[in-house]
Amino acid sequence: MTEMTDDLSTPLGQKTERQKRRFRLPFTAMQALAVLLGLFLVAFLAIALFTDNPFGGEPVTRIALRPTGADEKQPGTASGHPEKAAKSAQQAPAGDNKTVTIIDGSSGKRQDVVIGSDGPDKTGGEPAPAMAMAGIDQRLLEKSRYGMIPVVADGLKPFTVYAADADRTKAAKMPVVAIVVGGLGVGAAKTADAIMKLPPAVTLAFTPYGADPAKLAERARAQRHEILLQVPMEPFDYPDNDPGPQTLLTTLTPEQNIDRLYWHLSRFQGYAGIANFMGARFTATDAVMQPIIREAAKRGLGYLDDGSSPRSAAPSLTASQSMPFAKADFTIDAVPTSAEIDRTLVKLETLAKERGLAVGVASALPISIERLAAWIKTLDSRGIMLVPLTTAMLKSKSG
């Protein structure tokens, strides 16, 4: 009765002492909870104080841009880390040279990963110089501040040493056609298609850009293609139309342009000659073009004019240097359709039969490679011989 009385007499909203005791946790449970909370706090403080990770365990990525400008130390010469520098030079891209540092959030371990872009760098960054390629005559290399560049030595010239094999006696007696597929080195897939789907007598021209032009150029030479280096030169609508970093410009001094030429020459080795990449304004300006032709001739190279500029000074300048030379008669895929490519190839055949020699240039578009491969298979039956560009140059010179 006493308990019932207490409950009835208790004011509304209040609990008796007995009711409060029903919901109170035992004292021992409170102690256990406090101990657990204390251990958690101690563990958290230990991680914060003794782990060398200022990012609180969160995964972090840092991106460092590392341009290799002309006045900076080149990869491969970094003091104290020659092996790492050589690996970086081999993997360095021709566009943005980016190193991503991945930091493990729990351990703080760092790992550097190099990321390249498949294309020319329009921001002014410069690719690292190429590593040495297999099958290169070391006597025909000279060190520049950018890397190794071709040179004449022991009576040997890159033009003759790196020319593809051909039956030149046979070529002298019948109409010949030379095909140059250019713009390679940027885009590994299209470059690989040109290398593997076209016969060795097709000459391949590489730009100095791309993630690894040296590797692709080496692969082309392994398939017995002769190769050219395309040198970016100033077009009329520059800089709206910009060929890429280190373009030769009419506004620069001869010394500056030759320095830029050295940069291009160092990108890979094993080419028999150079060709213009764009350059309608530059090739038409004698004062800036002459030192480039003279320098290339001195280094034992041939020169291909892509025929895009009727005002090009290259024919007369190369003749004055007794330099192997050819000018493209047709751009085969100026209109990149099957029908137009086939029509241009017929024109190329006709010119070869009339003159004894014709030169065509094309890009590595899938349709271009497909039509060229099919057309080349028919040449023997038409009495025309497909020859490397160097053979065509020599026939032109002797004719």
Per-residue pLDDT tens over the stretch 91-110 = 444 444 444 444 444 344 44
Q: What CATH number is given to the structural domain containing 371?
A: 3.20.20.370
Asked if residue 29 belongs to a domain, the reply is no
User: What is the model's pLDDT at position 281?
Assistant: 97
**Among 35-39, 48-52, 301-305, 355-359, where is mean pLDDT lowest?**
48-52
- Which range has the worst mean pLDDT, 103-117, 134-148, 204-218, 362-376? 103-117
166 within domain boundaries: yes
Tell me the pLDDT band of 64, cut-offs 50, 70 and 90.
Answer: very low
**Full residue range of the structural domain in which residue 91 is found:** 60-69+83-115
Q: Which residue has the tokens 């764009």?
A: 278
The kind and range of the H/E element at 350 are: helix 338-355
User: Is the same domain home to 187 and 250?
Assistant: yes
Bigger pLDDT: 314 or 107? 314
Residues 250 and 348 in one domain: yes
Say how far apart CA 70 and CA 144 lie, in whole Å. Answer: 11
**Is 285 a domain residue?**
yes
341 in Cβ contact with 361 (< 8 Å): no
- Per-residue pLDDT band for 161 (boundaries 50, 70, 90) equals very high
Between 119 and 340, name the one with better pLDDT: 340
Q: If you average pLDDT over every residue of the chain, what do you get?
A: 79
Whether residues 240 and 162 share a domain: the answer is yes
Is the domain of 148 the same as that of 111?
A: no
Identify how many contiguous H helices and E strands the chain contains and give both numbers.
15, 14
Residue 206 and residue 165 share a domain: yes
Q: Quick one: 165 and 307 in the same domain?
A: yes
Q: Alpha-carbon distance 280 to 284, whole Å? A: 6
Provide the pLDDT confidence category of residue 335 given band limits of 50, 70 and 90: very high
Highest mean pLDDT among 6-10, 16-20, 151-155: 151-155
pLDDT in the model for residue 41: 66
For 39-53, 312-326, 331-345, 383-397, which range has the lowest pLDDT when averaged over its residues? 39-53
Sheet containing strand 98-103, edge to edge, reads 60-65, 98-103, 110-115
Q: What is the mean pLDDT of residues 130-155?
A: 88
Which is more confidently placed, 118 or 333?
333
In a domain, 270, yes or no: yes
Residues 180 and 277 in one domain: yes
pLDDT tops 60 at residue 132: no
- The percentage of the chain sitting over the pLDDT mark of 70, rounded to a whole number, equals 66
Residues of the chain by 3-state class (helix, strand, coil), percent to 5:
40, 20, 45
Same-domain status, 103 and 218:
no
Decide: 88 and 66 in contact? Cβ < 8 Å: no
Q: Which residue has the higher pLDDT, 303 or 132?
A: 303
383 and 320 belong to one structural domain: yes
Q: How many domains does the chain have?
A: 2
**317 and 244 in a common domain:** yes
Domain shared by 285 and 325, yes or no: yes
Cα angle 390, 235, 274 (rounded to 5 degrees) comes to 20
Asked if residue 301 is part of any domain, the answer here is yes
66: left (phi over 0), alpha (psi -120 to 50) or beta: beta
pLDDT at 81: 38
Give me the pLDDT at residue 211, please. Answer: 82
- Same-domain check for residues 231 and 306: yes
Give the Cα separation of 30 and 16 in Å (integer).
Answer: 22
Establish if 122 belongs to a structural domain.
no
Residue 369 in domain:
yes
DSSP per-residue codes, 213-281: HHHHHHHHHHTT--EEEEEEE--TTTTTS---TT-B-TTS-HHHHHHHHHHHHTS----SEEEEEE-HH
